[in-house]
Every structure is written in C-alpha cells, then in structure tokens.
Structure 1
Amino acid sequence: MFKTLLSKVGWGELPSSFGYTIGEKVELPFSWNWELHKGQKKSDGSSASVFMCAKKDLDPAQAMAAKNAEQVSKTLRHPNILRAFNSIETEGGVYIVTEEVVPLVTAAAAEGDDDGPAIWGLFQALDGLSFLHSSGFTHGLFGPLAIWVTNQGDYRIGSFELCQKGLDTGSAIAARRRVGPNSSGLPEPPSAMQNGGMPSVGIDMWGAAVLMAFVFASPRARMQLDLRQVEKEIPLDLRKAFMELENPKPLRGRSPLADIMALGFFQQHPAVQVFSFLSNLQLKSPEEKEAFFEGLPQLLEGLSEGVKKRQVLPELLTAQRFPGQEAAHLLPSILKIGVKLTEEQFREKVAPLVAQLFAAPDRTIRFRLLTSLGDMIEFLDDAMINDKIFPECVNGFTDSNGPIREASMIFFVPRLKPKTVESRVLKLLVKMMQDPEASIRTNALICVGRVSGGLPAASVNQTLLTVIGAGLKDPFSPCRCAALQTLIATANNFTAEELAQKLLPGVCSRFVDPDQAVSDVAFTTLPKVQEVVRQKVAERRAAATAKEAGAEPTSTKAEETSSWAQGGSFYNQISALSMDKVRQKFMGSVAGSMNQPGQPAAPAGVQEAPPAPAASCFTLTGAPVQPRAPAQLGGGGSKMTSSSGSTKFGKQPSGGAQLDLDLDDEPAGGGWGDEDIFGDSHPSQAAKADDFGDDFFDEFDAPDLQQT
C-alpha cells in the first residue's frame, strides 16, 4: 500500500525501521501544506495518524516551517499537546506519526453528546497554550485550525510550523498565510496587531479568542465566524475575558490565560472538576482521592452520556490500575457509566475488570462489587458468573462480615447453574437460616424460593420445607412474611400431604401473629394454598377414576352407607317422612334441657323459634354428647346460635349447663350415616331405608332428653 502511494507522489522510500503503515488520506476542509493519513502500528495494529508534507511543493520558508514542526513535535511533552509517536525526514518529505486525531472543524458530535459547548476541550486548549507560554514558546498559529480531537473527544494542540521562542508578532502574522492552515470562514488577525508594543504572545491571545468564539458559536455561525456577532453567545462569566483576548495588551505580570482558567465558570464546571482531578490523580493524597470518588457519581450527572463513555470511563479504568484503594472507590462510578454501554462494549471494557476485582482479597472491593452487582448482572454472561466470579466469591456466603454475606446471595443465586445451586448453594442458604442477622435469614429464604423453579423437586422440596418452616417461626416479622409469600409462590412444588400436614398448620399459627402485616398475609395465604391442595386432591381422584374406568363397579360399604349430605337412598326416604313426631321429640328435648332445676323458664311472650328444616349439630355442655345431626333434612338449614347466654328458647343464666348450638349447613359428605343411626357397622344388620319402625323415633324418648 505504501509503495503504491509513493509511486504516485514520488517521495522515495521510507526505511524499514519506520514501524508504521500509511493508509487512506483524510480530507481536510482547509488548505494546508500537510496531508493527513490514517496509519497503523506494525507491531500491534493500533491506530495512529500520519501527517505528511512533500518537500517538492515547498519554498524554502515552508520547508523550514515543516522541519520546525517535526522538531517541536518530538520535543514538547504535555497532556494537551498532540503526542508524536515517531517522526522522520526523508528526501521526499517530512512524516510525523501521532495519536489518532481529526481536525476540530470537522469533528462531529459523537453519539450521546449534547449540543452544548465543549467546555473541557476549551479548557484543555487554553491549558496547553498556557504551558507553551510558561515555557517561553509562542505558537503563532493557535486557533480552531490548530486544534485536533482524539477519539475520546480530548483537544490537542498541533500545527507547530511557527512555534518557537521569542517569535515576533508581526513576523508571525506575515507568515501565517504562507505556512499555516487557512480557511475562508475564519477571521484574519487585525492589522493593528502588527504595530509595536504588542506582546510576543499577542497573536496566540487573539487565536484563543477565535477558538472561544468557535466553541460557543452555533454550527451555522461557525461557517463564517464573525467575532462581533458571536460575542453575544459567549457566557457572561467569560465575556470580559473574551474581549481581553480579542484585544491583547502588553502583559503586566503573568499570562492572562491562567486567570481565565481560574474563573468559577471553569472551576465549577463538572467536566473540568472531574478531568482536572483525574489528570493529577497521582499527586493527590488518599484523603483527597476518597472524598473525590465518593462525590464522583453526583458530578457525573452533569455530563453528557457521550462524554462519560468516551472520556470519563477510559480515565477511570486507567486510574483503577494504580496501587491503593482507588479500585474500591472508583467502582461505583465505573459501573454507573458501564451500565449505559451496549452489551458488547460492557463485555469488552468493564467485564474483565469486574472478574479481576472479584479475585482481589480486599473486602472493601468485594463489598462494592456485590452491592453494585444488581446494576451489571444482566451484562455478565452466565459463563463468566459461574466459572470466574462465583468461585472467587463463594466464601462471601460465610464471611464474618454480615453485609458481605447478605450481598453475596441476592443477585448471584438466580444466575448460577442448577447443578451448582443444588450441590453447593442450597446447603449454604439453609445454613444462613441460622444467621444472627435477620435480613440475611430473610434474603436466604427468598433466594431459595427464587431458584426452586429450576431445580428437581426431589432436591429442593426438603430445603423449602426446612426454610419455610423455620421462616414461619422466625422472630423477625419480615422473615415470617417472606416465608408465607414464598409458600404461595412454591406451593405447587409440594404434595398435598406436605401442604396439609406440614405447612398449613404453620400458616394457621400466623393468624394470631403479633404483627398485623404477617397476620394479613397469613389470611391471604390460606385460601391460595388450600386451593392448591384441592386441585391436587381432585387430580388424584381423577387419575384414580381414569385408572378404574371400564372396570365393573362393586358394591362397597361406603356406597351402602352414604352420608346424608351426599344424598343416598336413605336421605331420599327420610326426607319424605312426616317430621311432626321428630320435631315434637326434638324440641321437647331441647326445652327440657333448658329448663333444668334451678333455671327459670322462658319468659312469657317469647315465642319459640320455628323449627329449622335441618339441624347440623348441637352439643349440650354438661350432658351426654348426642349424635351429630345430619347436614340437611329434606331442605335447607337454618342457623341457631347461643350468644351471651341467651337463645331463642329463653335466657340461660350463667353457671348452669350451657347450650351450644351450631346448626350451620354441613359441607358435602358430612352428617349422619346409616351406621350412626343404627349403631352397627354391618350393612346387613341395618333396617331397610323405607322401614324405620317405631324404635327409630323412640330414640328421642331417652330419659336424659325428656321434657321436664
């Protein structure tokens, strides 16, 4: 490629020691003696920029200026001076290899940048110019065309054709058009500057005013920059400084650039605060570093996303490599920016750092990582989590520091492989249910619930039973709430027997929890779990029925002695009988028990309540327990209750035998069966359903139920 290029321009060969290849030409929007090409380092393929100046087209003054630019580029070293990697002069021309840059006048706003002025870039350019002046140099060509922008958006000073010590302002103005870059859209230095009395750096001061106007001008105004028109767009805090730069006067003391950079406009700007500190990080004390990095996330709010990604993040990644505690303090800011990257960018720039820091033994770094994990967990692939990160932090589950134990489980567990969770994590989580830190017990319980869905039931059910059971008895009320909510979420994992016999009793005990919130959750949990049990039982019955489908049904004792509530033949017959005798005996028995000796009869005027068509059950306290009444007798039931010692049959004084009537409808399947009535478990000995005989009704004539 390079030979092809040389054959076109006829410059001659470069030596083999020149370690860069020269690529395509970059078009410049201004006239200049130099060409800009893309370059690449041969050893590692890193990108660079190559400035080329052909000697054959230059007059002696221009050739001298090109050689001066090459010499000064190699000599000057400053963060805001365009960094030269290599340079060489051949018979054909001059070559300068620098960091990869583009001209400021063509630098487009990167993705995520706002339309605001580049305050930090302007500060960098003024700082670089101040360095030149303090070193005794005058740039001579300073202005927008002498500023180059890196891929990160930093401003760099280049174009050193006229840069020298003791440069006369008049000579510089005369040589600008011949040796420097020129653009018809930018203003020319005023002729008054060629008069005597102007400081040697006056031409640079005026160029700084042009650069300031360019930075604050609108894109349309930059095409034909008029300093007078743009002046109104300069911020008020800088307007006085702008006018002083535009019309420089003999210096009295130090350069005015230092005073301009010390203005609050710059020093209070977030970008200047951040980058100025980071550029001098190695000179700061540990206390200064800690204070700065603690407030850095807040400062980042004032920067555009593009600046944070392109400029701040690389600086932070570089700063964390220094020895000391910087990594722990830098991590929140790195992750704050990192989560705004694409997944590919995060894996390339931030993920390796995360894996590296997890391997560090420092607890502060570990805690910072764990507490920030929620923001970045989605950017980390499962392989990195399981193979690189988790093995390094597994000890965090048993760390003596409570916050580290808690942070270790919250985000990691759901992303681990089922095999890892089953073999290692479940045991750790069960152990954490005995942790003295209440929040750790709560989070351990929640973690078990989260991972249970992706694990075999055989391995997770016993763990769930253990942690939910322990959680229901935990003295920490949020843990009890978490146990109830975990049960709701995982109820389908259990068998009907496990729910009914092992878990529901614990749920019921929470009805009377001293914490109302827990009690409310318990009342919500019961019907949900009950429905799960009902479904499981129904599915079991349906499966049994399907299995027996096609087989000849056989008569069973259950069929012959079906309950009243289920409606067997016995129920159908008894519902058709006259209820007069039954009602008479039953009501007489109740009245007799109510009017025992020493108890007053029902007051006059109190009518007996109409007899209920069906009585569910009744219990006479202090008297022999009677058989439970059926759920229904030929129709719907009515409710009779005894409240505060009074009933519809009369008032019952305290101290006597109490009557407790519960005549609610009994659920299906309840009530008396044939065996309850005839007292015999053998169907062959029971009377036929349609032949009761007088003996049945004589049961109500028992002496203890006779009316007195």
Structure 2
Amino acid sequence: MWFWSRDPARDFPYEVTGEREELPGGWGIQKGKRRAGGDLVSVFTYDIRPGVDEQTQAAKSALKRIKTLRHPNILSYVDGLETDKCLYVVTEPLTTLGTYIKSRSDSGGISELEISWGLHQIVKALSFLVNDGNLIHNNVYMSSVFVDRAGEWKLGGLDYMYPAGSEDSAPRKGPELEKYNPPEKSDRSKTSKEKWSADVWCLGCLIWEVFNGPLLRTNSLRSLGKIPKSLVPHYCELVGANPKIRPNPARFLQNCRAPGGFFCNSFVETNLFLEEIQIKDPAERQTFFEQLSENLDSFPEDFCRHKILPQLLTAFEFGSAGAVILTPLFKIGKFLTADEYQQKIIPIIVKMFSSTDRAMRIRLLQQMENFIQYLNEPTVNAQIFPHVVHGFMDTNPAIREQTVKSMLLLAPKLNENNLNVELMKHFARLQARDDQGPIRCNTTVCLGKIASYLNPATRQRVLISAFSRATKDPFSPSRAAGVLGFAATHNFYSMNDCAGKILPVLCGVTMDPEKSVRDQAFKAIRSFLDKLESVSEDPAQLAELEKDVHAASTSPGVVGGWAGWAVTGVSSLTSKFIRTSAAGGQQDVAPAQAAASGPSVSPATAPAEASKPAVPPANLSSPSHYEPEEEDNEVDENTLDRWDDEDWGSLEVRSHI
C-alpha cells in the first residue's frame, strides 16, 4: 500500500536550512529549525551507503548513545530519526570547535579564559564517562567538540565509544583518525594501563590542536608550540609514553584547578558558581553579583549574553538580588540588539521602577543613560514617570537630587501634560521649598537645559519667574544658576520681556555679595543689551531675534552643555546612601554628612555660598528614618518668604509641603 512506501523523512518536524559541514565518520552538521515555531537547532546527518557497513554501524551506535547519555558537557539530544537511507540527530544550535576558533580570529582570537573553561568542560565530560559511566569515549579530538551560542564546549563524536574492559568490541576507526591513537595501540608489549589511558592521551591531542592547529602527525605532540606554561606540566602527563601513569581525568582537573593552574581564574570560578547558583545562600549570591561587574569586561560577549544575562534576569524575578544586578545587567545590555533589549531588559526596568527599594531606585536613576534610548514614549509616560516623580518628594536628598538630574534624559520623551504641568509643579516646589541648596540649584540648571522641550506657553509662564526666583536664593550657586539660566535661554524671550523683566532682575544681581555671581550678571546684561541695541539700530531684526519665542518644542541644541551640574554636594550622599542601604535596613544618610565635606561646586557656575542661616533640625518621617542636623544649606520659612515673591504661573503646590 502507498502508506507503507512513504518516506518518513518527509514527516520529520525539522527543516534543514544551512550548508553541510563535513565531519569525520561520514557525518555532517547543518543548521536547521523546527517547522512549528521556528526554533533554531543543529542537525547531524549521516547518509547510509553500501560498502561502509562498519562505519554505518558506528553511526547507528552513536545515535543510540546520545539518546541515553545526559550530561551538561555532552551533546544534548533533542530529536532523531533513523531510516533506510539516512540518520538524523537534532541537537541545540552548535558550531564545530574548529569553525568557532576560526570565526574568532577576526576579533583577536579566542582567549585563554575561554579555552580554560572549554577544556574544563571536556575534562568533566570525560570524567563522567570514565568514572561514573564506566565508558571509554575513544574519539576525543578537535572535530568531536562543539560550541553552543554561549561559548560552552560540548563533547560529541560518540561513534567509537565502548564499555571499559571490552576494547576488542570497540568499533574500528577510519585511517584518518589513527594519528590520535596512543602508542600502546600499535605496541602490544605495553599492556599495563588504566581504563582512561587512551582517552586522556586523546585529551592531550585536543589541547595541542586548540593551541597549535590541526594535528598532522603524532610526532608533533612533542613540540609544545603555543601551549601556556601553566598547562605544560599537566599536558606532558597526558601524552606520556607510559599509559600507566597518565592521570585520571578527575585528577587532571584537580591539578589544573590548584593555585596558579590553568583552570584557576575568574572565568572558571564564575562559571562554576553559576552552575551551583540555585543552591547558594542569598549572601553568597549577593557577593557574587557585586563582584561580577568587574570581570565582565574580560568575559566573551556570547557568554555574557546567553549565560550570565539569563541568570541575572532569574535572580531578579525569583530571587532577592535587587539593585545589585543593575550594573552587570546594563553592561551586558550593550551587547544586545534593540529588539533583544526591548524583550529581555525593558520589562525588568519597568518593574524595578515600581519597587519601594530605595537603593534600587537611586541606582536606576544614576544609570538611566544606559537604557533611556530603549524606552519608548508610551512606556516612559505610563509606566516610568509616575514612579519617578515620587523621588521629588522623597525625604532622602540623594534621591531628590538624582530624580532632578534624570529629568534631563526623560524630558524629550514626556508628553504634554507630564512635561509642562506635572514636572513644572515639582520643579516649582523644589526650587522654592527644598532645604538643600544644591538641589534648588540643580533644579534651576535642569530647567534651563530642558527649556527647549517646553511648549511656548509654558516657557513664557515659567522661565522668567523661575530664574528670577533663583537669583534671590540664599545659596550662591543657585543665584549663579539663575543668571546663567537667563543667558542660556535668551532666544525664548521677547525684546519687551528682556527690557522690562529680565534686565531689572540682572541689574539687581550686580550687587550680589559674591563676585563670581556679579561677573556672570554683567556678562548676561551685556548680552541682552547687545540684542536690544541691535533692534534699536535695525528694527527689521526684531522678527529674527524673536523667532524662537513662540516656536514649537525642539531639541536643546543651544543649552545642552551650558552649565554642567552646578552643584554636586548632594552627590556625595548617593554612594553613602547605597552602601548604607545595602549593608542593612535601608537606612538614610542625613544631609549633615554632605555638609561635613562641603558641596563640590563647578567653578564656572557655582561660587561660594553667601548666606548660611541656621534653623532648628526637622524630623521628617519616611519609610527610612531621616533626621537632618543643622546644615549650611538649610533655609528657614521666613527666609523663603522673603525671596519667594513670584510663582511659576500658579504651578506651585503648597498644600503638600
């Protein structure tokens, strides 16, 4: 019947898509994918031909072995098919070791760190076969090792495997593999040996090929070539003429893991920890993630993407790693495509912003420049900004400071309401009421930098009021920031505003107690006077000079680097806050600690503080206890009332202060 004559290969649920790479023993490897779902795989194929019955039997034996052997360092069987015409073995996506090493030659070659971990994996596979399975692989060399997408080495080539003690029943190798045979194969007088003697000899051949290229003849093993010095003594034991003294794979592994050994390095240690991370206690995992970022720069990109990244995501999703995973997460994120970043990291970032962990929030704000380009506007406005704005009202000054700075990155992606209404409300309150002078100053700086994103109506309502207010701040860097704010946003003011509102304010600043503030005021006055004089001389220039006053929001080409961050005194709190939070209890750092060292002020924009009114300490309750002591940057309510004589178009929300 026709049913019995159908080719079963047609119903095979995998499609072979790549070119065939020939392997010894009649096998070939090709790229493939599952017909349903498109999952990538590798497909090993063997064509059954007449006249090579012994080779075909070895291939069928390999298919049976791979189905039953389960070890992380041996090829993992996904599916298979045996017909009268061919054999199929489907595995995870793989590349032959030889092809992998050649592909890395363009980028500087494969590193010794990668080789150390790869050989470590192959030795573990051999140890498992010999010591746990009582099996002899009998085919270890370059073409029997494969590499997955994470750079992990897998042992394949199971065609000639046999149980220990039954060497006479082992399949016969082809002539092209005879160069990998140990000397005792041809010298029957050397009968005293261990069961692993032949496999560790072949391991020595593999090591030689990894560092020196294909082995053309057995005598080449005597020349060390590029084998590292730390590996030479152990390599010599593997290819020793006496099979009796060749080490068990387990002992070879132990010897190379000793201090100074080839397997004793940060890359191997990291991999070994990852293999057991699920049984490690939380303190060990925390320490591991803290130290991981330092080593990532020396680790292979594929390893970071496909092995470390999944562990980081799992640690956040199901563990208690918290903020400690952020630094390595964003480092690895640089290796991802935009689509991969959206799929793997953005959901984690969105979830992190909703966390109440203050250490996590402040680290997210500090590292926002690493991921802001991957956040789309709907995500920012609906899922990020509503959580970020809580930082404006946080009792910890370090979080308030970082929240202000983050607006420079978020502003281009904010919608009309969030940017021109909600953000301006918070800025108005911070500039008028915050007890930290550096935060008031940096609020003014940030406003100047994002001015071009605001709509024209908001600019007209906010800028002059805000910068005028800043020039009356008791904290001298804030006064300098107000003056520079006027100068940096000069193109957004009408000539009438320049003459009637801005110049009177700037003239008042020429009597400032701080000379550096006065100097900036005189420069700004001269700039505005030049514009007014130009219009007076040639009224036709008025339209050109006022073209940006009612212009729609644009990118900030003019103000992008006008002042840097004028004051960074609160920044010293940030690292202390993170360390304290990580150490225990999420305990805040009082602002008095920042005052002890004094604010670090940008020379161009932040002269020394002019007035330092003392106030009684306040006690602000929050999830983390915070009791500020008397501090240089505090301003009492009476002082605020004296200079808070203008508002930002009634945007300030006083009822929540």
Tell me how many residue pairs correspond in the alignment: 527
Match of 1:278 among 274, 295, 298: 274
C-alpha separation in 1, matches of 2:199 and 2:208: 14
Q: Is the 8 A contact 2:123 2:250 kept in 1?
A: no
Amino acid at match of 2:129: L
Q: Within 5 Å, give how 1:417-566 maps onto structure 2.
A: 417-433=415-431, 434-511=433-510, 513-535=512-534
Aligned residue number for residue 650 of structure 2: none
Q: Is 1:21 matched up with 2:19?
A: no
C-alpha change, 1:484 and 1:268, in structure 2 (3 Å) is farther
C-alpha separation in 2, matches of 1:354 and 1:495: 42
Match of 1:393 among 382, 388, 393: 388
Aligned residue number for residue 233 of structure 1: 226
Percent identity reads: 27
Q: Is 1:140 matched up with 2:127?
A: no
Q: Is the 8 A contact 1:55 1:92 kept in 2?
A: yes
Aligned residue number for residue 49 of structure 1: 42
Aligned residue number for residue 131 of structure 1: 128
Q: Is the 8 A contact 1:81 1:128 kept in 2?
A: yes
Aligned residue number for residue 300 of structure 1: 296
C-alpha change, 1:272 and 1:191, in structure 2 (3 Å) is same
Q: Is 1:85 matched up with 2:78?
A: yes
Match of 1:189 among 158, 163, 182: 182
C-alpha separation in 1, matches of 2:309 and 2:542: 65
Amino acid at match of 2:451: S
SS of match in other structure, 1:176: coil
Amino acid at match of 1:355: V
Over the aligned positions, Cα root-mean-square deviation in angstroms equals 3.6
Aligned residue number for residue 235 of structure 2: 242
C-alpha separation in 2, matches of 1:543 and 1:26: 70
Q: Is 1:367 matched up with 2:350?
A: no
CA deviations on 1:408-442 (whole Å, 9 max, x unpaired) are: 34221233234531132122221221223333323
Amino acid at match of 2:456: A
For residue 98 of structure 1, report the CA deviation from its aligned partner.
0.7
For residue 210 of structure 1, report the CA deviation from its aligned partner.
1.6
Q: Is the 8 A contact 1:30 1:183 kept in 2?
A: no
For residue 505 of structure 1, report the CA deviation from its aligned partner.
4.4
C-alpha change, 1:303 and 1:536, in structure 2 (3 Å) is farther
Aligned residue number for residue 109 of structure 1: 103
C-alpha change, 1:314 and 1:157, in structure 2 (3 Å) is farther
Q: Is the 8 A contact 1:56 1:92 kept in 2?
A: yes
Q: Is the 8 A contact 1:147 1:158 kept in 2?
A: yes
Aligned residue number for residue 331 of structure 1: 326
C-alpha separation in 1, matches of 2:455 and 2:536: 22
Q: Is the 8 A contact 2:25 2:174 kept in 1?
A: no
Q: Is the 8 A contact 1:413 1:447 kept in 2?
A: no
Amino acid at match of 1:435: D
My pick for the range that moved more, 286-295 or 467-476, is 467-476
For residue 236 of structure 1, report the CA deviation from its aligned partner.
0.8
Match of 1:98 among 88, 91, 104: 91
Larger radius of gyration: 1
C-alpha separation in 2, matches of 1:381 and 1:49: 36
CA deviations on 1:439-458 (whole Å, 9 max, x unpaired) are: 33233222221222133332
TM-score (norm 2): 0.70
For residue 147 of structure 1, report the CA deviation from its aligned partner.
0.5
Q: Is the 8 A contact 2:330 2:370 kept in 1?
A: yes
CA deviations on 1:500-535 (whole Å, 9 max, x unpaired) are: 454444434544545554344334333223334444
Gaps in structure 2 of 5+ consecutive residues: 544-657
Q: Is the 8 A contact 2:74 2:155 kept in 1?
A: yes
Gaps in structure 1 of 5+ consecutive residues: 545-708
Amino acid at match of 1:156: K
For residue 243 of structure 1, report the CA deviation from its aligned partner.
0.6
Q: Is the 8 A contact 1:216 1:233 kept in 2?
A: yes
C-alpha separation in 2, matches of 1:223 and 1:509: 88
C-alpha change, 1:103 and 1:408, in structure 2 (3 Å) is same
Aligned residue number for residue 206 of structure 1: 201
SS of match in other structure, 1:32: helix
My pick for the range that moved more, 188-197 or 325-334, is 188-197
Match of 1:415 among 386, 408, 413: 413
C-alpha change, 1:102 and 1:427, in structure 2 (3 Å) is same
For residue 225 of structure 1, report the CA deviation from its aligned partner.
8.4
Structure possessing the higher relative contact order (Cα contacts under 8 Å, 6 or more residues apart): 2
Q: Is 1:378 matched up with 2:373?
A: yes
Aligned residue number for residue 653 of structure 2: none
Q: Is the 8 A contact 2:58 2:160 kept in 1?
A: yes
Match of 1:158 among 151, 156, 161: 156
